Amino acid sequence: MRKNILYAQSGGPTAVINASAGGVISEAQKLGIGRVFAGINGIEGILNENLRDVTQLSQEDVRLLQHTPGAAFGSCRYKLAEFDKAPDVYRKISEIFQKYDIGCFFYNGGNDSMDTCCKIARYFAETNTPCQVIGIPKTIDNDLAETDHCPGFGSAAKYIATAIHEIALDTASYPKGKVTVVEIMGRDAGWLAASSIVANHCGAGPDLIYLPEKPFDIDAFAEDVKKVYGKKHRCLVAVAEGIKDEQGNYLTVYQGKDTFNHVQMGGTAYRVAKLLEERGFKTRAVELNLPQRCAAHLMSRTDRNEAIKSGKEAVRQFTKGATNCMIAIKRTYVNGKYRAKYFAVPLENVANAVKHVPSRYILPHGQISSDLLPYILPLMEGTVPQRYSNGIPHYFKSDITD
């Protein structure tokens, strides 16, 4: 049996993706599994044999890694073609895995990365390659199927709810305020935009919230804004970046495409604000932007811990012989207290699937049902104390940062 394992990161980083890396490394150290390699820049670096031996990473470095945003081992947006389109790529992967005696490949990413995992696992099965493949979930978007929620979401939701609560207090300052349009990440699924209701629950948040799951009707929206403004002399609007009009066109201005042929978002708040200006409103556009996925100074303790445990569970599933699977989280309540359990789900069920916000939570007139709160709140619970140096958090520095 092959002795070593290979861990790599893929897709957009989150505040806690490195916590999962730490979980994999520390569990492998604890169980005395052979050598632990990190693939630099995901499958793209692995194909260039860009591997680092992290077996001996110190406890202090693992601890620091688990507090650090970004993808410490580098990420990629590499689209793995089907076997018949690129047989050489699959053979190259096999060769490198054999050379480094890799018994399990852990890929930490979202649904595109799970598609890559799935293809590699299928190829290994067909070629009787003695290497397991296990996906570790990661996405702020919370849109992976088969799991109650995804590591990365809780911290992003905590940042978003906090930022929009602070913005609500700030924009309440003027007697005659503007319509402030805040853009929140989420191309297909509105979990992050929906999580801004936590700020309302705390006394000051968005008056109106719009998700990609329901068509965005600009005239109905302008009516909703008018009503709020008439009452409060200001209006705070949260829009998911991926909202679409009745014809299914994104409202965003900039519409480049990435390697997965996904539309690249950005500029939705500016576009929505402009539509309101044309209707006579004074506006301000705010994009919460990258801090949503990298504000590790405000990470959720629950989310961070679950990211670590997902990594650890992946290593345990390897020792049990699991393959072609992703670690998923099941929510339970013990004496009314939230608990997470970890299990493995088939990669086929996850790859390329998208879990949307159920329509029962999306009410008319830009309202989100508070019934969603019991789902979101436990995932945002707790803070992670950071060590500060020179007034800012002290983070792990990997060589990719140079």
Site for its own copies in 247-286 (CB under 8 A): 266-267, 270, 284-286
For residue 170, the minimal CB distance to its own copies (Å) is 4
Query: 69, 103, 109, 110: which one contacts its own copies (CB under 8 A)?
Result: 69
Dist CA 371 CA 16 (whole Å)? 27
* Closest-CA residue to 191 (of 206, 212, 162): 212
Farthest CA pair distance, the chain: 71
Site for its own copies in 200-229 (CB under 8 A): 201-204
For residue 274, the minimal CB distance to its own copies (Å) is 10
Query: 119, 138, 158, 187: which one contacts its own copies (CB under 8 A)?
Result: 158
Question: In terms of CB distance, is 48 or 98 closer to its own copies?
Answer: 48
Residue 121 in the binding site for its own copies (CB under 8 A): no
Q: Which stretch binds its own copies (CB under 8 A): 102-110, 124-132, 133-141, 377-385?
A: 377-385
Residue 339 in the binding site for its own copies (CB under 8 A): no
Dist CA 268 CA 181 (whole Å)? 9
Active site residues: 141
Q: What angle do CA 361, 362, 367 make, to 5 degrees?
A: 110
* Closest-CA residue to 296 (of 185, 394, 164, 167): 394
366 contact partners, CB below 8 Å, separation of at least 6: 207, 208, 209, 210, 221, 224, 237
Question: Which three-class secondary structure state does DSSP give residue 365?
Answer: coil
For residue 233, the minimal CB distance to its own copies (Å) is 11
Query: 63, 96, 279, 291: which one contacts its own copies (CB under 8 A)?
Result: 291
Query: 241, 287, 306, 313: which one contacts its own copies (CB under 8 A)?
Result: 287
Residue 390 in the binding site for its own copies (CB under 8 A): yes
Bridge-based pairing of strands 283-287 and 208-210 is unpaired
Dist CA 125 CA 346 (whole Å)? 14
Binding pattern to its own copies, positions 122-141, x when CB under 8 A? --------------------
What number of chain residues touch its own copies (CB under 8 A)? Answer: 71
Binding pattern to its own copies, positions 71-110, x when CB under 8 A? xx-xxxx---------------------------------
Q: Are 210 and 237 in contact (CB under 8 A)?
A: yes
For residue 118, the minimal CB distance to its own copies (Å) is 23
Question: In terms of CB distance, is 214 or 284 closer to its own copies?
Answer: 284
For residue 348, the minimal CB distance to its own copies (Å) is 28
Dist CA 379 CA 302 (whole Å)? 6
Site for its own copies in 167-196 (CB under 8 A): 167-175, 180
Question: In terms of CB distance, is 131 or 295 closer to its own copies?
Answer: 295
For residue 106, the minimal CB distance to its own copies (Å) is 17
Q: How far is CA 312 from the centre of its chain?
A: 19
Dist CA 142 CA 212 (whole Å)? 14
Alpha helices, DSSP H only, in 320-400? 373-376
Q: Which stretch binds its own copies (CB under 8 A): 68-76, 112-120, 241-249, 318-326?
A: 68-76
Query: 140, 161, 189, 239: which one contacts its own copies (CB under 8 A)?
Result: 161
Q: Which stretch binds its own copies (CB under 8 A): 87-95, 162-170, 304-312, 348-356?
A: 162-170
Note the residue count of the chain. Answer: 402
Q: Are 16 and 139 in contact (CB under 8 A)?
A: no
Tell me the sheet residues that pair with 340. 331
Q: Which stretch binds its own copies (CB under 8 A): 38-46, 79-87, 109-117, 138-146?
A: 38-46
Site for its own copies in 292-331 (CB under 8 A): 293-298, 300
Query: 49, 290, 359, 365: which one contacts its own copies (CB under 8 A)?
Result: 290
Dist CA 252 CA 265 (whole Å)? 6
* Closest-CA residue to 209 (of 344, 3, 372): 372
Q: Are 299 and 384 in contact (CB under 8 A)?
A: yes
